[in-house]
Amino acid sequence: MCGRFAITLPDDAMAALFDAVPANDLPHIPNYNVCPTNQIHAVTSDDGHRRLRPMRWGFIPHWYKTPADGPLLINARAETIAEKPAFRAACRERRCLIPASGFYEWTKDEEGKRLPWYIHPAEGKMLAFAGVWQVWDKGEEPLTTCAIVTTDANKAMSKIHHRMPVVLARNDWAKWLGEEGKGAATLMHAPPEDALAFYRVDPRVNSNRASGPELIEAI
């Protein structure tokens, strides 16, 4: 799964990287401890025009009467996304890229204490997670919401966790966004083992209130 990540690249650099027009109301960055229900950055494509826009991390199905009317859907499993009622329409029609500088995962020591790891690109400054999104409009104001697509971990990542986000290579961004026709389903797999690197970080990040660049410093 993916339950926490970091985003540090400035908005203008992110917009240039994804060749997208940035919205005026993007969330504050850097954010070294992005948590579920936070506003995050996402890239969408409409008629070939990309937009960098804010979304609530936590997909809200159309039948929820309130945002808390059911489980918090921050991840969508690649193996079942096309079948699950919550995600199947979004998987066909509303896919997005979710930029991240890196993400966190946890192991446990012999005493059961949670040990956080920071997973980041082996090369480059940015990851692009596969995501799905939709607008929930049963509240006072519409909410644009999203979930990160996850898959079985590759061999390297399986040492830390059995699941991981679908990380898309740059030459696959257009296909995932629907700019190159069909075939997005073929992209929902783990990245090559050498695409990511990881190291232990301070347990301070175990708190969703923690912040600051020291959260991603190796220990």
41: left (phi over 0), alpha (psi -120 to 50) or beta: beta
How distant is the alpha carbon of residue 23 from its chain centre? 18
- Report how far residue 175's alpha carbon sits from residue 184's, in angstroms, rounded to the nearest whole number: 6
State how far the Cα of 112 lies from the Cα of 129, in Å rounded to an integer: 30
Catalytic residue (choose from 2, 91, 96, 146):
2
- Own/partner pairs, 179-182, CB within 8 angstroms, 24+ separation: 179/45, 179/48
Active site residue 105: yes
Q: Which residue has the tokens 């026709």?
A: 181
Q: Active site residue: 35, 83, 93, 105, which one? A: 105
Contacts of 196 (CB under 8 A, 6+ apart): 119, 120, 121, 122, 156, 157, 167
Q: How far is CA 63 from CA 18, 68, 70, 86, 95, in A?
A: 32, 12, 10, 9, 20
Find all residues with CB under 8 Å of 140, minimum gap 6, and list them: none
Q: For 167, which DSSP code? A: B
- Active-site annotation holds for 2: yes
- Residues taking part in catalysis: 2, 105
